[in-house]
Amino acid sequence: MPAVPAFDPEDMDTMSRWLYHAHGGDLHAVTADHVRHAYYGMCSYIDDKVGRILETVEQLGIRDETVIVFTSDHGEMLGERGMWFKQSFHEWSVRVPLIVSIPGSRPSRIDNPVSLVDLLPTLMEIATDGKGGTPVSPVDGHSLLHLLDGNAGWENRVISEYTGEGVVAPCRMVRRDNFKLIYTHGHPDLLYNLDSDPLELVNLAEEPEHQHVRNRLKSEILDGWNPERIGTRCIQSQKERLFIQEVTQGDPDYAYLYRSGDRNRYIRNASAVGTKARARYPLVEPTPFLR
């Protein structure tokens, strides 16, 4: 069950309140049975899928020459703070599973903050037998093999940003070591010490003794990232996509349909995204299409 009970929406930080309403938190009454059902349902579902893959690898006789990476593109709030789904920078959502199995490697647990952008250089180094190769264009991230080798020079910093549906301003987060700063453009900052406050209940952003940490992390967030310019680009992109929607006289189908029935099997288009249209950046009415 959630470690942190639901907040009153008025007591939520700005980004959380946006997501709460965008996800329909004010429209549904979630019970403890719902939480248990969702938790066990998701666990059994992914366990079955991963089990099928591993079973196939074993049947093919290639386990000893196969690198297996178990990860995800986001976490799940699962009722923490009264929130569900993803998109939040709180730990339950921003943390992802990351298990890497390399034949012949020594099992270990690494607690350094790492990012999904580190996966590409990691897999490149594995595939090239430690040489890494020379990418055609610059690659973000660093190979995780250095951490497995006990490299003490690892930079304990990760950055995450979000400008999609549900929020109405550019949002970005940086974590360095045990401190996390959440920046919501035009709204108060959030600063947490994850060592002493793993549930993120004490905002240190206005505490005088933590101003040096806040200022340092905020400068890292804004380095090469202009929220004003990004906000303008997001609104322009929204105008263009709404124009395309008007031209096509409906909802453009951006989802790839692998097999017959996928449109009903997976919720990817109007049924999910359409309900969020008014929870994005300041509402932009569609441009009239001149026929």
If you average pLDDT over residues 173-201, what whole number do you get?
95
Q: For all residues of the chain together, what is the average pLDDT?
A: 85
Per-residue model confidence as pLDDT tens digits over 39-53: 898 899 999 999 999
- What are the pLDDT digits (tens) for 209-234? 999 999 999 999 999 999 999 999 98
Q: Tell the burial category of 146 from Cβ atoms under 10 Å away from its Cβ (0-12, 13-18, 19+).
A: middle
pLDDT tens figures, 8-36:
888 999 999 999 888 888 888 888 888 88
The tokens describing 186, both together, are 């035009």
pLDDT tens across 240-285, in order? 888 887 777 666 565 667 788 776 766 555 444 454 455 555 555 5
Strand order in the sheet with 157-162: 157-162, 171-176, 179-184, 190-193
Band of pLDDT at residue 181, cut at 50, 70 and 90:
very high
pTM of the model: 0.80
In this predicted structure, what is the pLDDT of residue 226?
94
What pLDDT is attached to residue 271? 45
